[in-house]
Amino acid sequence: MDFIPANESPVFIKGFRWYTWLLFKRRFHKVWLRQDYYPKKESKTVYYLNHHSWWDGLVPFLLNEFRFHQQARALMEDTQMKKYPLFQKIGAFSINRDDRRQAITSLRYAVNSFEREQASLFIYPEGTITPPGLDMNFEGGLAWLYGKLHNVDFVPIGIYMHTIRHDKPELHLHVGKSDQIGQLKSGAKLTHHFEERLNTILDDLRTTAGFDDTNFEPFA
């Protein structure tokens, strides 16, 4: 399948913003947010997220439109891009994980996207939807991007849904602090570092979500 680039439509984004807001309001009893990272005007950011459900594909758009306000793009599996072409209009572009050459083309496109001011990228490093509760098992794309991007923040985002308190699900989102990588250099060590960061956030969400909202604020 040929590479599908992002093709943002400001008019479509404006309308889809409120559709997405109402969709989350209708489908979830409440959306909660813990935000430990606030991008500055000059910030450029890679956000990496877990991927346990269909809803995860809309979380980046919701966060960017109402909290981050960056020029956001997102990597999306090529088969899903073909199935949901509307995502191209809000900044998604395709990646073929089964073809290394095509995958590198997508990652290079991601790097070039950071030539824009206030650029950001959302990536699901596991590459596909995975069962909740398992430890992260990232592919190498996130570490590859870290090696190519400079003066860019890398920020984990945990997504957790539950029905502990209501028949309709609640959604808890935790935007972590920017990574402090230190002297890690090898791809394997970087990948493990990113996995551990997101695992820690998800473990905390599984422990507190639905029981203690002290560090969260209502999002929707």
> How confident is the model over 98-114, as pLDDT tens digits?
888 889 999 999 999 99
Please report, for the domain that includes residue 62, its CATH number: 3.40.1130.10
Asked, for residue 85, whether it belongs to a domain, the answer is yes
- Across 125-150, b (16+ Cβ under 10 Å) vs e yields bbbebeeeeeebebbebbbbbbeebe
Asked, for residue 127, whether it belongs to a domain, the answer is yes
Q: Which domain holds residue 93?
A: 10-214
Give counts: helices (H), strands (E), the chain.
Answer: 7, 8
Asked, for residue 219, whether it belongs to a domain, the answer is no
The rounded distance, in Å, linking the Cα atoms of 48 and 126 is 10
Asked, for residue 171, whether it belongs to a domain, the answer is yes
Please list the pLDDT of the chain residue by residue as tens digits (220 residues): 689 999 999 999 999 999 999 999 999 999 999 999 999 999 999 999 999 888 998 999 999 999 999 999 999 999 989 988 999 999 999 999 888 888 999 999 999 999 999 999 999 999 887 888 778 889 999 999 999 998 999 999 999 999 999 999 999 999 999 998 877 667 888 999 999 999 999 999 999 999 999 999 998 6
The rounded distance, in Å, linking the Cα atoms of 215 and 148 is 34
Asked, for residue 3, whether it belongs to a domain, the answer is no
Asked, for residue 107, whether it belongs to a domain, the answer is yes
The rounded distance, in Å, linking the Cα atoms of 84 and 98 is 19
Q: At 93, is the secondary structure helix, strand, or coil?
A: strand
The reported pTM is: 0.95
Sign of the alpha-carbon dihedral angle for 119, 21, 134, 217: positive
Asked, for residue 88, whether it belongs to a domain, the answer is yes
Domain tally for the chain? 1
Asked, for residue 19, whether it belongs to a domain, the answer is yes
